[in-house]
Amino acid sequence: MLTPEQLESFKDNAYLILPGFVEAEQIASWHEQFWAHIDADAQDSTTWPDEYVIGDFSVSPRLGELPEMQVIVDQIGGGSFTGGGGSMLVQWPKSTRANWQMPEAGHIDGYGPGGWSGGFMLGATTYLEPVEEQGGGFVYWPKSHHGVHDFFHEFPDQLAGSFTERDDWEDRKWGMFSDRSPTDPVEFTGQAGDLILWHCFLCHTGSTNVRSRPRQAVFSRWHHADREEMKYDVPEDLWKYWAI
Ligand SMILES: O=C(O)CCC(=O)C(=O)O
Ligand SMILES: [Fe+2]
């Protein structure tokens, strides 16, 4: 369970970091599953592939199936959030350190190649190995949920993704959302098993890894069970479909 202080912090910032959330034994088991699946040697970079999206693979049990994860998701979603897959995204080491740059803009999820699904509520990310600065971490814009909420309040008919047809999209792209953020972007660095919980309107993106270890991230996402009924609604109260 999250404490009232943690809930307040999540609501204020659109993210919450829970250090050491996934047990070391669980992480070790997922790590083994991952390297076996890609058929590579974790210690030998000549055997490493370069795929960002690890297809046809999910850690077992999935992140969303861990009892400690379910408790939190039920707490903040009041039992109405569903999903919780266990897909992996890996940032393989790339170039030299001098080339590293903080990403300029961050997107919001729910607008994949299959179109807008609607009703996306929550994401969670953890790592299978420590991630240092410039190590390909998940980059996010603290407090960016308010600007995104304001945007859709102003243009509710663009919620389904038609913002990409605006005249200013070509110039601004996702900056249209993340430029509204009151904060600069931050890298999620930390130990294996640390978790970041993120609100659906948190602007975020991947980043380049110029360190030596691959950034091995496990992601889960949850949507609202009643998404067909609620997905076009842009409520005045950002927390209308939450239990917090
Ligand atoms: O690779 C990352 O850290 C970012 C991934 C991302 O944008 C997402 O999972 O929605
Ligand atoms: Fe994303």
Domains of the chain with CATH codes: 11-230 (2.60.120.620)
pLDDT in tens, the chain (244 residues): 999 999 999 999 999 999 999 999 999 999 999 999 999 999 999 999 999 999 999 999 999 999 999 999 999 999 999 999 889 999 999 977 678 999 999 999 999 888 998 999 999 999 999 999 999 999 999 999 999 999 999 999 999 999 999 999 999 999 999 999 999 999 999 999 999 999 999 999 999 999 999 999 999 999 999 999 999 999 999 999 999 9
Model confidence, pTM = 0.97
Give, using CA atoms, the residue closest to atom 1 of ligand 1. 206
Residue to mutate (ligand 1; options 205, 207, 218; most atoms within 8 A of CB): 205
Ligand lying nearest the CA atom of residue 206: 1
Cα of 140 vs centre of ligand 2, distance in Å, is 10
What residue's CA is closest to ligand 1, atom 2? 206
- What's the rounded Cα separation, in Å, for the pair 31 and 237? 40
d(CA 66, CA 167): 44
Cβ–ligand 1 distance for 138 under 6 Å, the answer: yes
Question: Which residue's alpha carbon is at the smallest distance from atom 3 of ligand 1?
Answer: 138
- Using alpha carbons, select from 13, 64, 44 the residue that is nearest to residue 203: 13
- Ligand index nearest the alpha carbon of residue 217: 1
Q: Which of 30, 85, 2 is nearest to 216 (CA)?
A: 30
Nearest CA among 207, 223, 190, 192 for reference residue 85: 223
